[in-house]
Amino acid sequence: MTPLLDVAELSKRFPVAASGSTLKNLRRRFTRAADEQSQVHAVDDVSFTIAKGETVGLVGESGCGKSTLVRALTRLLDPTAGSIRFSTRDLSLVPARDFAKDRDRGRIQMVFQDAGESINPRFTAFDAIADPVRRLKHLSGLALVETVDKAARQCGLPTELLGRYPHQLSGGQRARVGIARAIAVEPELLVLDEPTAALDVSVQVVILKLLARLKTELGMSYLFVSHDLSVVRLLCDRVLVMYLGKIVEAGPARAVFDYPLHPYTRALVAAVPRLDGIGLAKLRLSGEPMSPIDPDPNVCRFYGRCPRGADICRTQMPPLRRAAEGREVACHFAAGGA
Ligand SMILES: Nc1ncnc2c1ncn2[C@@H]1O[C@H](COP(=O)(O)OP(=O)(O)OP(=O)(O)O)[C@@H](O)[C@H]1O
Ligand SMILES: [Mg+2]
């Protein structure tokens, strides 16, 4: 079956600004040609699919490229290379600046980490939810009011709150406005970039339950970015583990967290405290993460921190290869051959 989203060989690189007065920057500015400018390899040759109705988690440490990846595939920024097929149409061919008016714009919606910052402070909750409905569904009058009201009710927002401005709402209520605004245009894929990170723990639980309920009710697919592995394990069918711009492991969420194949996933899972005391033996990472600026394409990004690091790891980048039971891993030494 054709997946809803099929991302292939996607890369996003940012040029490193040669401004600034550090000796290194000045040396770079005067010795390098413009086409040799250094680049941050934020997302590097990433491929994955999301099926209709599937929830896929995306995890990895800060700065590994999660937000850049989701911003590229929601077309908020242009990828450097690769394709983003959404129901067979390659959205990477539509420039980011034109996507706001694109016919497929409403089919992918994004929920941001801080709903307070992503909502225009001069918009009431009603205006915030109505804005994409007006632009993408071209509704007005009573039809617009009814659509906004329905989305608000689905997200547990009482009608009385719709006249309030963001600063008059609690963090949990603002998160509900952010979700209502995204679902009001009936998307098929909801991309959530750490949607509960700005909320306190009790509100997080309520919002996560709301997201789980909406998914079942509306039959959407989710791409769920989170630092919280236990939430990803509970909420997601599959998980992608990212390290310095690359996917290093992918597979069913429970299997990946219970039996991680990649040494980085092992370290990530081992760092999560468990109430039952059962867990993987602590795996402490030593060494500094590699720089994302002009990394050597032949060296495994985890080399230098990996307890296993061998000669082959610094001469040959391990590709993401198939392992047992629908799993993939990018490590020369991980068990589970195809
Ligand atoms: N607009 C930009 N210009 C230059 N570099 C950028 C830009 N946006 C992101 N980067 C760099 O790309 C890399 C990935 O950043 P990104 O924000 O995608 O990470 P992340 O995994 O979302 O991190 P976090 O968990 O902290 O949100 C980082 O090295 C970051 O400095
Ligand atoms: Mg981020």
135 vs 101, higher pLDDT? 135
Please give the pLDDT value at position 336: 58
* Helix/strand/coil (H/E/C) assignment for every residue in 145-161: HHHHHHHHHHCCCCHHH
Please tell me the distance from the alpha carbon of residue 240 to that of residue 70, in angstroms, as a whole number. 13
Please, where are the H alpha helices in the chain? 23-31, 66-73, 96-99, 115-118, 125-137, 141-154, 171-183, 201-218, 229-235, 253-258, 263-270
Closest residue by CA, ligand 1 atom 29: 63
pLDDT tens string 17-28: 755 556 666 666
Of 132, 184, 134, which Cα lies nearest the Cα of 155? 184
Looking from the CA of residue 12, the nearest atom of ligand 1 is 12
Ligand 1, pocket residues at CB < 6 Å = 14, 40, 42, 60, 62-68, 292
Residues 90-127: b if buried by 16+ CB within 10 A, e if exposed: ebbebebeebeebeebbbbbbbbbbbbebbeeebbbbb
Q: How would residue 338 be classed by pLDDT, with cut points 50, 70 and 90?
A: very low
What superfamily in CATH does domain 5-281 come from? Answer: P-loop containing nucleotide triphosphate hydrolases (3.40.50.300)
**What's the pLDDT band for 165 if we cut at 50, 70, 90?**
very high
CA–CA distances in Å: residue 32 to residues 18, 19, 277: 10, 13, 54
Identify the residue whose C-alpha is closest to ligand 1 atom 31.
63
Whether the CB-CB separation of 224 and 59 falls below 8 Å is answered with: no
What is the three-class DSSP state of 65? coil
- Does the pLDDT at position 179 exceed 90? yes
Residue-wise pLDDT tens digits, 268-326: 998 876 655 555 555 667 788 899 999 999 999 999 999 888 899 999 999 999 998 88
d(CA 158, CA 172): 13
Does residue 199 carry a pLDDT above 50?
yes
